[in-house]
Amino acid sequence: MNTIYFDNNATTRVADEVYEEMQPYFCRQYGNPSSMHTFGGQVGLQVREARERVARLLGCDPGEIIFASCGTESDSTAIHGTLEALPHRRKIITTRVEHPAVLAVCRDLESHGYTVVELGVDKLGRLDLSELEHQLDDETALVTIMSANNETGVIFPIEQIAQMVTSRGIVFHTDAVQVVGKIPLNLSKSPINLLSLSGHKLHAPKGVGVLYVKKGTRLAPFLLGGHQESGRRAGTENVPGIVGLGKACELALQHLDEENTRVKHLRDRLEERILRTCPDSRVNGDTESRLPNTTNISFEYVEGEAILLLLDRYGICASSGSACTSGSLEPSHVLRAMGVPFTAAHGSIRFSLSRYNTEEEVDFTIEKMPEIIRRLRELSPFVQSRAR
Ligand code: PLP
Burial 12-36, CB ≥16 within 10 A → b, else e = bebbeebbebbeebeeebebbbeee
How much is the average pLDDT of 226-250?
Answer: 98
Candidate from 74, 177, 350 with most ligand 1 atoms within 8 A of CB, to mutate: 177
Atom nearest to 98 CA in ligand 1 = 3
In the chain, residues under CATH classification 3.90.1150.10 are 4-12+256-387
Q: pLDDT band at 385, cuts 50/70/90?
A: low
Domain 4-12+256-387 belongs in CATH node 3.30.1330.30: no
> Helix or strand or coil: residue 33?
coil
- CATH annotation of 16-254: 3.40.640.10
- Under DSSP, the state recorded for 154 is B
Atom nearest to 148 CA in ligand 1 = 3
Candidate from 9, 69, 150 with most ligand 1 atoms within 8 A of CB, to mutate: 150
Is the alpha carbon torsion for 95, 129, 342, 321 positive or negative? negative
Atom nearest to 149 CA in ligand 1 = 3
Q: What is the DSSP string of 96-122?
A: TTS-HHHHHHHHHHHHTT-EEEEE-B-
Q: What is the pLDDT of residues 122-177, one digit of tens each?
A: 999 999 999 999 999 999 999 999 999 999 999 999 999 999 999 999 999 999 99
In the chain, residues under CATH classification 3.40.640.10 are 16-254
Q: What is the pLDDT of residues 56-102, one digit of tens each?
A: 999 999 999 999 999 999 999 999 999 999 999 999 999 999 999 99
> How many angstroms does the Cα of residue 276 sit away from the middle of ligand 1?
32
Which active-site residues does the annotation give?
A: 324
